[in-house]
Amino acid sequence: MNPAASAMPGLKLVLRRIGGVAFASAVALAAIARADPAPTAADAERWSQADRDVLASLSLKRLPSTPDDPSNAVQRSPAAAELGRRLFEDARFSRDGTVACATCHDPARQFQDGLPVARGVGTGSRRTMPLAGAGHGAWLFWDGRKDSLWAQALGPLEDAAEHGGNRTRDAHLVARNHSADYERVFGAMPDLDGLPMDAGPGGSPSEKSAWDALSESQRESVSRVFSNMGKAIAAYEASLRHEPTRLDRYIDAVVAGEPAGPVALSPGEVRGLRLFIGKAQCASCHNGPLFTDQQFHNTGVPPRDPAKPDRGRAGATAKVRDDEFNCLGPFSDARPAQCQELRFMVTDDPAMEGAFRTPSLRGAAQRPPYMHAGQFATLERVVRHYMEAPTAASGRSELAHRPSIGRRGAPTGRAPIELTDAEVGDLVRFLHTMDADR
Amino acid sequence: MNFFLVATLSLAAFATVAGCASPPADLDLSLTRPSAAGKYVVKLEPPATPAAINQLHAWRVVLASPAGAPVPRARIAVDGGMPQHGHGLPTRPLVTQEAPAGTYVVEGMKFSMTGWWEIRLAIDGPAGADKVTFNTIVSEPRVAQASAQ
């Protein structure tokens, strides 16, 4: 297929939407649409100034170091990170002694498991998320039910389908196996003598009643150890960073005005990149150096089990607000004034129904399956989902269909994503330019 | 991060918005506007330092009567979103303090992507309830012109 011809429907759409006032911009876009597929070392010079501004925003160079977490005083402590790594890899923190954080967050696989839904001591309901760069978002998990790395790390430890552990058992295990490392970071372990082996507020009925039988100060001591486990694991996770990829080297050359030369992308990858920041609309939400806006969107991804639609963000705001391990809770190191994200959290937006957090695309091409419950096996299927824009099973999809556009003079509302088969292939090719080297 | 908020109308601002959804060419970006029913004149002041994408920041609202008299003790609710993307603000901003001369501090503002954002204020003051909508364009910062050709 002639690439120029295949780009024409999109070009016409662009021209209609921009109107005559911005004709000069439209001419520039037309030039882009007719980009020659022939591979040449001059590819870098074909990007317009506006394109280069957008490309620069995607470079890993633009990513600051992991932001400080005022709720975790030890996030930057190397000793805490080392303790955190040991805890992360220790399968004793699970009901049957086989599940560590690293079981699902496999360091050899970008800290995820390649499964549609997580498999711990039981089977979860959502896809394991990778960990590099996780400390850059205000909200954790697909639904944002936690507001820090350390609070996130605690969830699976007590979850019946993941580690299936409980708080007193975890505290006893820290005392038995990690006390020297723990005390180096957090000071003396509390006296756990006489505390039951299995007790916790979220466990089995017997664990709950054993937890209720503890004194308030005993519960506080155990929860303190438990929260400190999370803070150490968070320190480790905050040290996990993305490495620059082929795309970063290409972008940095383009932005510097240098010939891409040895770091040039293939013609198909370059076409995919143009689509990504252009009419495919990917960069609307997959923006910035991590390729995510860190926000929640309903894009009509079908639920894994049609009988059980997942409410996503709508089901999570009360959880994070009421979480004893949130920024405002008794185990946080932050002053209340530092908990701005909780203070200004959106809790009543109907658009949060069925909405999930935008995932980073760095390394994503090496991490099938896709979406919040691994619904799609391939990237091509993902791209076609955004083109099909199905009606959401719960809530309302932000994606648009063709009938919703074309009102002359009123280019409001979202444009549908319309791509040829060749363009779908180019987008997928482009996504592989963010493959991790290892 | 080096993203900056650009609240001025320019082709450059349009052109540096990713995702191909150009805002309307005639978008009114004025930051002083009468409210919908004309009960107030509302001025929106962006932060002195341009805000970075996904960073919380504060704006100020200056509320006056149509004759120009400051309007203190009004209640102002803040809403907004991206008309071309079908989603709201990523946060729920609040008026956190009232300064002299009808000035109100709005904290918890955040923009999660480049493009056309609406900022909608629902005002309840001595002259009654009224609404006003502002438009702003968030765009990428410019990078240096390429030297090689």
Option in A14, A22, A340 nearest B25 (CB): A22
Option in B26, B86, B92 nearest A414 (CB): B86
pLDDT tens readout for residues A12-42: 333 333 333 333 343 344 444 444 444 454 5
In this predicted structure, what is the pLDDT of residue B143? Answer: 78
d(CA A171, CA A176): 9
pLDDT mean by block of 10 residues, chain A; 438 residues: 37 35 39 44 70 95 94 98 98 97 97 97 96 96 98 97 97 98 98 96 95 97 98 98 95 87 85 96 95 96 93 98 98 97 95 97 98 98 97 91 51 79 98 88
- Residue to mutate among A53, A386, A419, with most B CBs inside 10 A, is A53
- Contact with chain B for residue A61, Cβ under 8 A: no
Task: Determine the residue of chain A that is closest to B15 in CA distance.
Answer: A50
Option in B1, B23, B87 nearest A297 (CB): B87
In this predicted structure, what is the pLDDT of residue A15? Answer: 33
d(CA A332, CA A235): 15
CB pairs under 8 A between A and B: 159
Provide the shortest C-alpha distance from residue B126 to chain A (in Å): 27
Residue matched to tokens 């170091």: A65
Q: Which CATH number fits domain A78-237: 1.10.760.10, 3.40.190.10, 3.90.1300.10, 2.40.33.20?
A: 1.10.760.10
Per cent of chain A over pLDDT 90 is 81
- Contact with chain B for residue A53, Cβ under 8 A: yes
Q: Please report the sign of the dihedral spanned by the C-alpha atoms of residue B122, residue A285, residue A328, residue A154.
A: positive
Which chain B residues have a beta carbon less than 8 Å from that of A287?
A: 18, 53, 113-114
Q: What share of chain B is helix, strand, coil (3-state, %, to 5)?
A: 5, 45, 50
pLDDT tens readout for residues B8-17: 333 344 444 5
- Contact with chain B for residue A14, Cβ under 8 A: yes
Which chain A residues have a beta carbon less than 8 Å from that of B88?
A: 346, 349, 351
In this predicted structure, what is the pLDDT of residue A92? Answer: 98
Q: What end-to-end distance do the CA atoms of chain A give, in Å?
A: 35
pLDDT tens readout for residues A156-177: 999 999 999 999 999 999 999 9
Residue matched to tokens 């209609």: A16
pTM over 0.90: no
Tokens describing residue A17: 């939407």
Q: Report residue A175 CA to chain centroid gap.
A: 33
Q: Is A266 helix (H, G, I), strand (E, B) or coil?
A: coil
Which chain A residues have a beta carbon less than 8 Å from that of B86?
A: 351, 398, 400, 413-414
Please answer whether residues A180 and A358 qualify as being in contact, where contact means their C-beta atoms are separated by less than 8 angstroms: no
Which chain A residues have a beta carbon less than 8 Å from that of B110?
A: 344
d(CA B4, CA A12): 30
Provide the shortest C-alpha distance from residue B144 to chain A (in Å): 8
Option in B18, B83, B145 nearest A54 (CB): B18
d(CA A292, CA A290): 5
The tally of CA atoms less than 13 A away on the side-chain side of residue A122 is 13
- What's the burial of A435, exposed, middle or buried (CB within 10 Å: 0-12/13-18/19+)? middle
Provide the shortest C-alpha distance from residue B67 to chain A (in Å): 33
Option in B2, B92, B142 nearest A346 (CB): B92
- Contact with chain B for residue A343, Cβ under 8 A: yes
- Contact with chain B for residue A36, Cβ under 8 A: no
Q: Is A218 helix (H, G, I), strand (E, B) or coil?
A: helix
Which chain A residues have a beta carbon less than 8 Å from that of B92?
A: 344-348
Please answer whether residues A23 and B14 qualify as being in contact, where contact means their C-beta atoms are separated by less than 8 angstroms: no
Q: Is A124 helix (H, G, I), strand (E, B) or coil?
A: coil
Contact A398 B21 (CB under 8 A): no
Domain positions in chain A are 1-36, 78-237
In this predicted structure, what is the pLDDT of residue A5? Answer: 37
| DSSP characters over B121-134 | EEEEETTEEEEEEE
Contact A45 B25 (CB under 8 A): no
Tokens describing residue A164: 């299936």
- Contact with chain B for residue A295, Cβ under 8 A: yes
Distances in Å between the alpha carbon of A13 and those of A8, A63, A222, A297, A384?
8, 33, 61, 25, 19
Show Cβ contacts of residue B38 under 8 Å, excluding neighbours closer than 6 positions: B66, B130
Task: Determine the residue of chain A that is closest to B89 in CA distance.
Answer: A346
Q: Residue A174: what residue type? A: V
d(CA A126, CA A115): 9
Residue B116 has φ and ψ, to the nearest 5°, of -85, 120
Task: Determine the residue of chain B that is closest to A297 in CA distance.
Answer: B87
Task: Determine the residue of chain A that is closest to B19 in CA distance.
Answer: A281
Residue A62 has φ and ψ, to the nearest 5°, of -80, -10
In this predicted structure, what is the pLDDT of residue B11? Answer: 37
Show Cβ contacts of residue A211 under 8 Å, excluding neighbours closer than 6 positions: A166, A167, A168, A199, A200, A201, A203, A219
Which chain A residues have a beta carbon less than 8 Å from that of B11?
A: 22, 24-25
pLDDT tens readout for residues A380-410: 999 999 999 999 999 999 987 665 444 444 4
Show the low-confidence residues of chain B (pLDDT under 50): 1-16, 20, 147-149
* Interface ipTM above 0.90: no
- Dihedral angle at the C-alpha atoms of A28, A29, A33, A35, nearest 10 degrees? 30
- What's the burial of B13, exposed, middle or buried (CB within 10 Å: 0-12/13-18/19+)? buried
d(CA B37, CA B12): 33
In this predicted structure, what is the pLDDT of residue A360? Answer: 98
Task: Determine the residue of chain A that is closest to B145 in CA distance.
Answer: A49
